[in-house]
Amino acid sequence: MRIHSVNVSMPTEIEYRGRMVSTGIFKEPIDGRVMLRRLNLDGDGQADLVAHGGVHKAAYIYPLAHYAYWQRELGRDDFTMGQFGENFTVEGMDEDSVSIGDRYRFGAALVEVSQPRSPCFKLGIRMGAPDFLKPFLQSSMVGFYVRVLEAGEVGAGDQIELVARPPDSLTVRQINHLYYFDKTNVELLRRAEAIETLSPGWREGFAEILAEAEGR
């Protein structure tokens, strides 16, 4: 496992459907090394701090292998690193092999997986396809967020090492599928709600889904 690309951007304003929208989704790859800190990478910023950023979404990670899939599905060959708004494009990791609460050494930083990505309309803007969100979610190839436990320098080519894995967690794909498409699976819903390393917003969401599934 390794970091293929490190991508950053500061928020910018664009016109969308007759109004101005501020977004930091237009990430671009950088050369050299940069500090990954508690809230973000140096040189990176989030426009909407309610929906993006914060301790539990300090950096967004997306697998390089998914690029080929989406290029085929969308019939495109114009993707660049950071296409999906990710801070790290990575090799050797995906939603089936990564679990919530996994701890990884990213270069000199230590991170912990906190939740899958919940896409907003700005991903559709970035992709030039407003209807992209539905197939993106259905694919479960959504990537994942991490919280930063130890700040450190990172750069393209750095190795990624699994340091620890919780014994009773669920994979990113399982969590994403359960949250959006399997809302009656009470057994898994209970497991998901009990994952302490899952971000608070997702745990609250699972508590509500579980209550409805159990008829409470």
The pLDDT value recorded for residue 21 is 76
The pLDDT value recorded for residue 214 is 82
Angle CA(60)–CA(62)–CA(64) in degrees, nearest 5? 150
Indicate yes or no: pTM above 0.85: yes
Angle CA(78)–CA(43)–CA(137) in degrees, nearest 5? 45
**Cα–Cα distance for residue pair 19/13, rounded to 1 Å:** 10
Average of per-residue pLDDT across 113-142: 89
Backbone conformation region of residue 32, classed left if phi is above 0, alpha if psi is from -120 to 50, else beta: left
The band of 128, judged by pLDDT with boundaries at 50, 70 and 90, is confident
The answer on pLDDT for 72 being more than 90 is yes
**Cα–Cα distance for residue pair 182/8, rounded to 1 Å:** 34
The answer on pLDDT for 35 being more than 90 is yes
Contact 21, 13 (CB under 8 A): yes
**Cα–Cα distance for residue pair 112/129, rounded to 1 Å:** 31
**Cα–Cα distance for residue pair 25/23, rounded to 1 Å:** 6
Contact 179, 206 (CB under 8 A): yes
The pLDDT value recorded for residue 99 is 97
List, in order of start, the domains of the chain with CATH numbers: 2-166 (2.40.33.20)
Handedness of CA 35, 1, 165, 85 (dihedral sign): positive
Q: How far is CA 106 from CA 62, 115, 146, in A?
A: 14, 17, 11
Which residue has better confidence, 147 or 211? 147
For the stretch 192-211, pLDDT in tens is 999 999 999 999 999 999 98
Q: What is the mean pLDDT of the chain?
A: 91
